Amino acid sequence: ADDGDDDDYSSSLEGDNSSEDEEAFMLERALMSQDWKSAKLAIQSSKSNDDEVIHSAANASAAVLSRKEDDSNILLELLVSADWQKAKVFIQSKPNSAQKRDGKGRLPLYLACTNKDAPDEIIEALMTAYPKALEVKFEGKLPIHAVISAKCSNTSFGVVKNMIKFYPLSTSIPDDAYMLPIHRACCYGVRDVVINALYQSNKRAIIENKNMRHSKSLDKGMRATIFGSIGNVHVDNGDYDLACDSYSISLLLKREVYGNDHAIVAQALTKLSIAHRKLGKLSTAKVYLEESLSILDRVANDSDPELGDTMVQMGKIFSKERHFNRAHKYFINACKVYRSAKIPPEDPRQCNLRQLLRQNFANAIKSARASRERQSSRGQSFAVIG
């Protein structure tokens, strides 16, 4: 009988312990899932003493806090591992995670911008979640500098456009090498539509940025290339005075790097000539072209398309000066060069040259007729006087 009582007592203890364990489990699960209503009910219905409840609650709360701390690093880990789908879902569910820096001090947006494979939608989502991240530099660079450097020719127009929209001043802020975003875009072969968006955003910043010309972080050759590209942008936007300034700097740097007798210097002279011709400064334009042709005569062969291009530019100047015969000679010589270079007839350069020949011939005929009419008019005047 005594043994039976002991068994009943033991079973009773086990039942109580099981009940307490279940209560503790229910409480912990509610706290872990941050279901505060269920946690409150679990505490109120608990049959265990207050100390045990508080102890269980404390343990569970510590676990919740630990998990929250881990959550703040999950997004960074997903970005580093390039798990883009999970990263997208995580940003949408926990947008505040976009404000958490990694051990080096980088924000998630900057981290994504340095990865050439990061999808545009991830960068867009991070910008939307925490626009202030666009204003934060890391190692001297803003996210807009970083994304252009990482993605190069694949830089998205949409991403850059939204970066400018969220933080317009970003286009006027140089990086640690004194390079504006547009300078980096020119340096890394970014598409024209992106470069033009950067240009239109803050043209004044490009003009006022004087330090990049003397930047020690870039060699002279790279600086020369950037200024040449900026000159092209100026020309495309009809800012020919500014183009002359940029091309002049590019030419100066290229002379220092390559010397005077080099095809790259000749090309820079030709571009500078074009900008002056657009301004109507034909005499100055002709001087630059003459030097360019002189260099190409020494360093290029008769099948170098660059030689043909320069001849075309000289023909344009003579045609503009109404020296149609001399213009015709340059156009014909350019045809010979293009033919030697095996440039196909449907190539834009060939099509443009044929158009220039027709136009020059038509203008020559028109000029000759006008001259004959003037002479005839004078003859009639002399006859009347006589």
pLDDT of residue 370: 87
CA Rg value for the chain: 37
pLDDT of residue 73: 84
CB contact burial 230-264 (16+ within 10 A = b; e otherwise)? bbbbbbeeebbebbbbbbebbbebbbebbeeebbb
pLDDT of residue 341: 95
pLDDT of residue 116: 95
pLDDT of residue 142: 97
pLDDT of residue 9: 44
- Cβ-contact 313, 270 below 8 angstroms: yes
pLDDT of residue 304: 94
Distance of alpha carbon 277 from alpha carbon 273, whole angstroms: 6
Distance of alpha carbon 277 from alpha carbon 294, whole angstroms: 19
Residues in the chain: 386
Q: Residue 56 phi/psi, 5° resolution?
A: -65, -45
Measured at the CA of 306, the angle between CA 305 and CA 307, to 5 degrees, comes to 90
**Per-residue pLDDT tens listing for the chain (386 residues):** 445 455 554 444 445 555 666 666 666 666 555 565 666 666 666 645 455 555 555 455 444 444 444 566 899 999 999 999 999 999 999 999 999 999 999 999 999 999 999 999 999 999 999 999 999 999 999 999 999 999 999 999 999 999 999 999 999 999 988 899 999 999 898 999 999 999 999 888 888 887 777 777 788 999 999 999 999 999 999 999 999 999 999 999 999 999 999 999 999 999 999 999 999 999 999 999 999 999 999 999 999 999 999 999 999 999 999 999 999 999 999 999 999 999 999 999 999 999 999 999 999 999 988 888 777 766 555 444 44
Measured at the CA of 92, the angle between CA 86 and CA 94, to 5 degrees, comes to 95
Distance of alpha carbon 78 from alpha carbon 191, whole angstroms: 29
Q: Which two tokens stand for residue 147?
A: 């994304």
